[in-house]
Every structure is written in C-alpha cells, then in structure tokens.
Chains A and B, each alone.
Chain A
Amino acid sequence: MTFMGFVFSAIALAAALGVVFNRNPLYSAFSLIVQLLAMAGLYSVLGAHFLAVTQVVVYAGAIMVLVLFVLMLLNLKSESGRKLGIVKPLVALGVGFSVVATVFPAVVAQFKDISLMTLQENLWKSEGGVKAIGQEIYGRYIVQFELSSLVLLIGIVGAIMLSKRKRIVIGPREGGLGGKQ
C-alpha cells in the first residue's frame, strides 16, 4: 500500500467513525461524504480511475445530495435526548467485533501468501481501463447491465409513487406515536 493509500485509509476510517458517532445527522452526512471521497481516492490508488470518478459522480454527486436534501427538508435536530442505555452499544460492538473476528481470519488464511503490489501493476494505463470496463459491461454483462437499468427505472417510479401525496392518508394506529398530521 502506498503512502496515498494510507492517507486515504486513515481519512476513510476517521470519517466512518464520524458517521456513526456524530449526534447530528447532518454532520454524519458530511462525514459520509468525506468517507466516500476517500474511498474514491482508494479506488484511484488501486488503479480503478473510472470507478473513482463514478464513485464521486454517483455517491457524492447524486446520492448524498439527495440525503442532504432530505435532511435539510426535514430539518431534523440531533437525535432526541433518550439515552442509548448500556446494553445496546455493547451488543453493537459485539456485532462489529464478531463480523471482523469471523471474516478476517478466514480471509487472511486465504490470501496471506499473495502480495498485492506484485501483481499486474500497469494493467489499466491511460484510458484502457475505461475501454476495458466498457467492453466488459456491454459484452459479458450486457444482460445484467440492462437489468440494472430496469432496476433504476423501477426505483424512480417507486420513489415517485411513494413520495406522492395520496388522497387517503392511512394515519398512525390508534394509540400509536405521532398522532398529529
């Protein structure tokens, strides 16, 4: 891993922690943007320039703008004062630990002999990368590509249907929370 790789990794980790531990969702969102940009940097370090740019365009340019939009529209304050308690964070840390503890040894066992940087250093020089990815997507993966476009279309339609105001609003159940409309 190069120097830049370490820099981006550190940023990504710090920002990831920021996402989880910021009380204000808007700060979480900004942290996530930083994290996503750091990931784009990591892709770049790994030689996937096209993906790096796509990452910026799709995640930073579209998805996170949408999230910010929603956050600003709803104008939410920090999470309500209710205390987290002690059990939940502990259990959550247990989750995190167990994910890492179960997967990492298996992966390490799988890959410890293989050195990454010795492999195919100049695989995607210049614009060969974009061209090669294009040929993969429009060649072997054409069906999946078309399907994913269909998924996007359905997503758009679904989002519109969901956020359209309906004439009949099914209110919260009796005794449920947030009774006022």
Chain B
Amino acid sequence: MLELGILLIKVIFVLNLALGLASFCTWLERKGSALIQDRVGANRAGAFVESDRWYLKPALPFVRALGWLGVINTLLCDSLKGLWKEDFVPEGASKFLHALAPVIAVLPIMLAFAVLPLAPDFTVAGHTVHPQVAPIDAGILFVLAMGSVAVYGVAIAGWTGNNKFSLLGALRAAAQMISYELPMGLVFVALIVVYGTLDVYTMVEEQQKLLWGFIPAWGIVMQPVGFVVLLLAGMAETKRGPFDLPEAESELVAGYFTEYSGMKFLLFWLGEFAEIALFAVLLALLFFGGWDIPFVELPKGVWWASLIGHAVLMAKVVFFCVLQIVIRWTLPRFRYDQLMNLGWKLLLPISLVNLAITAILKVVL
C-alpha cells in the first residue's frame, strides 16, 4: 500500500512537473519572443489588481508582479479563454477522432516523462525512493516509442480537419517526425553503447565519473556529435523552431490544427511545450550530467542532496528550454526539401558514422 502511495505521489509529481515545465515554456515563449522582437509582451492582466479583503492584501504585490511579468495573462487568462470558446468541429469529420487527436498529441509526451529520473535516490524513514515513475528495462527506447506514437495525434488531427491544408500539414508532420526519429534513435544507440545500459538513471550515474581525473564524463564530452544531432532532431520532432513546416502559417494557414479551436487547440499547444520540456530534460540528463555538479560530490541517499540535485537538473532544463525558444525565434523557417535533406542526407549519415566510431572506440579503448 505504501509502495502504491509512493508511486501515486511520484506520478502526481512528475505530471505536475511536466505540466509546470510546459506552462513555464509557454510563458517563456510569450515573453521571450517579445524580448527578442523588441516588444514588451503580455504585461496587463493582473497587474492592476485591487482587493479590499484583508487576507488578500499581502498577496497583492506578488499577484501584481506576476501580472506585470505576463504570467497571469499567459497561464490563467489564455486557459480560461480556451475553455470558454466554442468547440468547433468541421463538417464531415468524426467527432470522436477530432477529440481524440489532441489527447494523443499530449498523452505520449506525458508518458515519456515516466521513464526519466528527476533526482538521485534518497532515503526517507527507511524507504529508498527512486524518483522515476517507471524504471522499465527498455528505458530510453520507451521515449522513442512514445515519440513515434505522438505522430498519430498529428496525423489524425490533420485528417479530421477534412481540408487540404490540414491534410498536407499532417503529412508533412508525419514525414518529418519519422524522418528525424532515425537520427534520434541512432544517437540513443550510441549513448547506449557508451554507457552500456538502457536505463537513464544508470546513464546519469555513469556521467558523474571523471575522465582522466579532471574532465567530467558528461554526455557532451563522450558524444559531442550526438548532442548536436539530438538537439537538431529534437527540435524537428517538436515541429518548432526553424522546423515548423507542418504548421507554416504562410503556406498552410496553421497546418494540421487549422480546424481546432478552444481547449483542443490549447492541448496541442500544451503538447508542443511539453515536448520542448521533455527534450530539455532529455538533453540535460543524457548530455549534461543530469543532477551532477562537476567536481562536487554530494552525499548519497540524503534527501537534501536529492533536492539540490533536482534543483541543479531543473536549472539545466530551464537552460535548454530557453535555448530552444531562442533558436525558434532567431532562425527563419527551412524549405521542405532543405528539411528532408538535413534529416536524411546530413543527420542520418552523421549519426551512423558517429555510432560506428563510438562502437569502434568502445571496443578499442
């Protein structure tokens, strides 16, 4: 029963973390894009809130601050607006599938968080807690599997849109996602070769070692090429940044979710940001040592050490979220052929060669 309770707590924690990160990314996107474009961005809603209730008074400055920062606008107002908008279903589309598509777009991303460890193990009251919801033996491959399932959300969405733009967007998205899954998978395989395990927790543990006593054995050191490939492939997988062909406004209106409105549309958005967060966590865990602080040894199994580890991880995650958003707002969109060429003719061969070299080095060294 206790086990189940711990599991439940873990699930709630991870879900909240994923959603929180997604929300954070939403806000970051709004404000970040404004900054990059030399605008002010959302800063009204809640900024002038007043209240006479004595128990609310102390909170008002915080609320106003959040309002000034645009948090209330992006998180609260937009959600409420989404909920109250008309849910429009195009003529001739299956209602069920139309509703199913955004769910499929979000759910696999949430599930993928299940195999990612978020802090080192710690012991509380005699119980060792492993902060990873599902330590299954296929480990990192599960992330890949969930990534491929997420394609269906997009495909179904495009099809139920029942118009050409949606369908084209869906086809583009599906092609793009399965194309970039290959280099991604190959980078994972290279990492598996390096660390000799599929389990992400073990991978992170491995990264805490030092190479020749002074270089931290982070993934970025062991697999520099893999990092670049995964970063690019990950951004293509999220269908964002310079890779937002499937939802290219100027060509396809809004691509596969043209016909979505209200909360369903927000779900797609949520899924997108959750995916950004997912890749940020992945990059931090696989390439930047997870909760590792170089040259600092934290005690094992102590709760506060885990907390610090978690904080460190989150700092890295935030860094990668920012990085992805900055890239998205900095670079112009690719052409479709450029996108495919990049995937098949550049990233795939590079990741193959990288894998071969990794395997050879693994055997030789």
Contact = CB atoms under 8 A, between A and B. Distances in A.
- Are A and B close enough to touch in the complex, i.e. CB under 8 Å? yes
Contact of A57 (B94, B144, B156): B144
B138 A62 contact: no
Contacts of B69: none
Interface in B226-243: none
A26 B94 CA distance: 11
B163 to A, nearest CB: 12
A30 B97 CA distance: 9
Contacts of A124: 137
Contact of B199 (A52, A72, A127): A127
A121 B232 CA distance: 42
A69 B171 contact: yes
Contacts of B197: 127
B138 A50 contact: yes
B172 to A, nearest CB: 11
A155 B53 CA distance: 72
A61 B137 contact: no
A53 B141 contact: yes
Given A30-B156, A65-B178, A127-B197, A57 B137 contact: no
A126 B149 contact: no
Contacts of A37: 149
Secondary structure at chain B's binding surface: helix, strand, loop or mixed?
helix
Q: Give the interface residue-count category, chain B.
A: 20 to 34
A68 B137 contact: no
Nearest to A75: B167
Interface in B126-156: 135-139, 141-142, 144-149, 151-152, 155-156
B136 A49 contact: yes
Contact of A127 (B145, B149, B185, B198): B198
A57 B148 contact: yes
Contact of B167 (A27, A57, A72, A129): A72
Given A30-B97, A56-B148, A61-B178, A129 B171 contact: no
Contacts of A33: 152
A129 B139 CA distance: 11
Contacts of A50: 137-138, 141
Interface string A18-31: 00000000110010
B149 A60 contact: yes
A129 to B, nearest CB: 5
Given A49-B136, A127-B139, A130-B138, A56 B171 contact: no
A171 B146 CA distance: 43
Contacts of B159: 26, 72
Given A61-B151, A127-B199, A56 B137 contact: no
B174 A56 contact: no
B110 interface: no
A30 B137 CA distance: 28
> Which of A56, A62, A73, A125 has most chain B Cβ within 10 Å?
A56
Interface string A63-97: 00100110011000000000000000000000000
B247 interface: no
A68 B155 contact: yes
Interface in A40-64: 49-50, 52-54, 56-57, 60-62
A128 interface: yes
Given A65-B174, A127-B197, A128-B137, A56 B149 contact: yes
B343 to A, nearest CB: 15
Contacts of A69: 171, 174-175
10 contacts: A53-B138, A61-B144, A62-B148, A65-B148, A65-B152, A72-B158, A73-B171, A127-B139, A130-B137, A130-B138
Given A49-B136, A65-B178, A69-B171, 10 more contacts: A60-B145, A62-B148, A65-B155, A68-B155, A69-B175, A72-B155, A72-B170, A72-B171, A124-B137, A130-B138
Interface of A: 26-27, 30, 33, 37, 49-50, 52-54, 56-57, 60-62, 65, 68-69, 72-73, 124-130
